[in-house]
Structure 1
């Protein structure tokens, strides 16, 4: 998509910013927005100049959930293949990312407005943030693959409480449960998100981040550590020929910032088991 109507996309200082941009509707989630988000995250992922993505919303609310202003849900017309629900189109694309994603959430982050962020690496919240997996209160069902992501973040007991009751809860409860990592005042939130993004961009190796991110998602659910150790062994055995690992050690001893040069699109080990998925 050359132009976006419901989001904005910018890149500066190796950080891509993806912003929900329907503030007049409190960033109500639409099918078009979902497809623009999937396109934008793919665009950031394929751009070697982008190291980190900050995901936020224009105005006082991140996203109030599905836009019901037309009286119901938008099912996108006649699909060419099996229909894909809109929240999952975004959550799935973030899951597949090689770049870390930092979601900065203020105001309402409800329904699709929270499920689209569950595959992000960080969720930072403002003190005014309010969350809710409100599906049971609308007679509908969880989406965005949230039944897979949420228990992994907060545990099954908390996931059951939030999803069965559909109740709203605040930033401190979200932080205590592990849904968000940090809470800031509303006027500090976005600055803190960029501060974290700059730290990651300046201090970490992009190929190492890409492999680590997918190792955690793809391997942590296995019923044995043995396959993980086999993959670890291949990765560690290759370090002497891995330019970034050499630079990481040398820069440490020389007490200077590292200058990592390997690109994700060219340097991912071909044997990684998820590259064919």
Structure 2
């Protein structure tokens, strides 16, 4: 695919996806969604990639300022919502579990953790994208908003499901009912962010953390643990325990189990093989 709104690179086990419409503060369009899902699928299929980072082009001075206003005007003129995507759009993360097979919820079905490196404002879909990441690092002073209330929209793309699970019902009600702007400092206090960073420290901190995940945890462990976390939101505790016991029986037979033990005993980094 000819990428025009997203940049993609992969090196040393880490894939980086950069939303790149800096002249529009990295605002989201149907084309960007199409390209984003394409490269996300590529990263998820690449066996050399262990961790995925999503960030915004720094020239845009935002992570993602939400849906492009021209697209919103188009919805108004048409009198209906048009996502701007086709039926042929890539489906990363689909097929893992039925409850993950939906827009943005597909992140939960990916085999690799996703870190949002929030380098500026995250509004509307920008907030959605951050919420569906597994981990969130942000620059100090970044501004967040759900934004939907000012356009007579509902809470978008399952924010009403995912935000209470991240920050609790009290904070989620504040964010979603008011559509107010809140700061990265508030977001950290709410529990939405894993870490706050000075602007010049954001990407080094994110890459350090990504390398720690890629080198310190077996690929199979990252994959299965991620799926457990989101699947177990839907099931009783006993089912979660039983699933973990079945996984333990199968995963202990993988070569990465022996390699992990050997590396620990020899006090060296593990040489993960990955795969199923």
Normalized against structure 1, the TM-score is what? 0.87
Aligned match of 1:68: 69
Q: How many residues align?
A: 257
Shift of the 165–233 alpha-carbon distance from structure 1 to 2, 3 Å rule, reads same
CA distance in 1, matches of 2:239, 2:17: 36
8 A Cα contact 1:35 1:89, kept in partner = no
Shift of the 77–49 alpha-carbon distance from structure 1 to 2, 3 Å rule, reads closer
CA distance in 2, matches of 1:232, 1:172: 36
> Structure 1 residue 69: deviation in Å?
2.8
Aligned to 1:241, what secondary structure does the other structure show?
coil
> Structure 1 residue 166: deviation in Å?
0.6
CA distance in 2, matches of 1:42, 1:211: 18
Shift of the 21–230 alpha-carbon distance from structure 1 to 2, 3 Å rule, reads same
Aligned match of 1:232: 244
CA distance in 2, matches of 1:24, 1:194: 26
8 A Cα contact 1:205 1:244, kept in partner = yes
8 A Cα contact 2:31 2:84, kept in partner = no
State yes or no: 1:202 paired with 2:206.
Answer: no
**Mean alpha-carbon deviation: is it higher for 88-97 or for 137-146?**
88-97
> Structure 1 residue 239: deviation in Å?
4.5
8 A Cα contact 1:41 1:94, kept in partner = no
Deviations 1:17-46 (A, max 9, x none): 100000000011111111111111111000
CA RMSD of aligned residues (A): 2.0
> Structure 1 residue 54: deviation in Å?
0.9
**Mean alpha-carbon deviation: is it higher for 108-117 or for 91-100?**
91-100
Aligned match of 1:270: none
Unaligned runs of 5+ in 1: 82-87, 268-277
CA distance in 1, matches of 2:85, 2:184: 39
Structure 1 residue ranges, 4+ long, deviating more than 3 angstroms after superposition: 76-81
8 A Cα contact 1:105 1:124, kept in partner = yes
Aligned match of 2:153: 140
Correspondence for 1:159 among 164, 172, 181? 172
Normalized against structure 2, the TM-score is what? 0.87
Aligned match of 1:42: 41
CA distance in 2, matches of 1:235, 1:151: 28
> Structure 1 residue 195: deviation in Å?
1.1
Aligned match of 2:98: none
CA distance in 2, matches of 1:78, 1:9: 20
Structural mapping, 1:27-176, within 5 Å: 27-58=26-57, 59=59, 60-69=61-70, 71-73=73-75, 75-76=82-83, 91-176=104-189
Deviations 1:133-159 (A, max 9, x none): 111122111222211111100001110
State yes or no: 1:213 paired with 2:220.
Answer: no
CA distance in 2, matches of 1:50, 1:165: 39
